[in-house]
C-alpha cells in the first residue's frame, strides 16, 4: 500500500495537520481512507470530507473501483459525521466508485443501521477482503 499524498512537497504543512484525522492511500483499483480520530464531529467532518473528496477527484480510477473508509478508530459519530458519510457516498458514486465501510464497532454499526446509512455502503468485515477490493 502506497500513501496517496496530495501535497508531497510540504511535509510540515497541510498534510501533517490532516494526517491527525485521516490518511488516504491510492491503490490500483481503489482509494483506502483510514480515519484516525475517535470522534467525528463538527470540526473533524469537513476536514476528513475535504481530504477524501480531493483524493476521489484526483484518482482517475476505472469504473467499478472502490472507496474504502476504514472506521476502526472511530467510536462516536455526531450528526456532522453521519452527514459526512452520506456526502462521501454521493461523491464516490458520482466518480463511479463503489463505497465500502470497514472496521466498525458494533455500536457504530448499530447507529448507522438506525439511520439507514449502512444501506448506502457495503460493509466489509474481514481485512483479507480489502486486498481483493483495492488491488
18 within some domain: no
* Closest to 89 in 3D by CA, of 116, 128, 126: 116
Position 28 scores a pLDDT of: 84
Q: Who contacts 97 (Cβ-Cβ below 8 Å, separation ≥6)?
A: 30, 31, 56, 59, 61, 65, 66, 67
CATH code, domain with 74: 3.30.750.24
Number of domains composing the chain: 1
Residue 19: band (very low, low, confident or very high) from pLDDT cuts 50, 70, 90 = low
83 within some domain: yes
As a whole number, mean pLDDT of residues 18-35 equals 85
15 within some domain: no
Report helix angle 79-94 to 106-114, nearest 10: 80
Q: What percent of the chain has pLDDT over 70?
A: 86
14's grid cell = 497541510
**Residue 134 pLDDT exceeds 90:** no
As a whole number, mean pLDDT of residues 103-127 equals 89
34 within some domain: yes
5 within some domain: no
Reported as type and span, the H/E element at residue 34 is: strand 30-35
6 within some domain: no
Domain residues for the domain of 122 are 24-134
2 within some domain: no
**Residue 66 pLDDT exceeds 70:** yes
Amino acid at each position: 500500500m502506497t500513501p496517496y499524498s496530495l501535497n508531497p512537497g510540504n511535509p510540515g504543512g497541510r498534510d501533517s495537520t490532516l494526517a491527525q484525522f485521516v490518511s488516504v492511500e491510492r491503490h490500483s483499483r481503489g482509494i483506502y481512507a483510514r480515519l484516525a480520530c475517535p470522534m467525528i464531529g463538527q470540526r473533524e467532518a469537513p476536514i476528513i470530507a475535504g481530504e477524501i473528496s480531493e483524493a476521489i477527484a484526483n484518482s482517475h480510477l476505472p469504473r467499478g473501483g472502490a472507496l474504502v473508509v476504514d472506521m476502526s478508530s472511530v467510536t462516536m459519530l455526531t450528526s456532522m459525521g453521519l452527514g459526512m458519510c452520506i456526502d462521501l457516498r454521493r461523491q464516490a458514486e458520482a466518480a463511479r466508485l463503489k463505497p465500502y465501510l470497514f472496521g466498525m464497532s458494533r455500536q457504530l454499526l448499530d447507529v448507522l443501521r438506525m439511520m439507514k446509512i449502512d444501506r448506502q455502503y457495503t460493509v466489509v468485515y474481514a481485512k483479507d477482503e480489502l486486498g481483493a477490493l483495492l488491488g
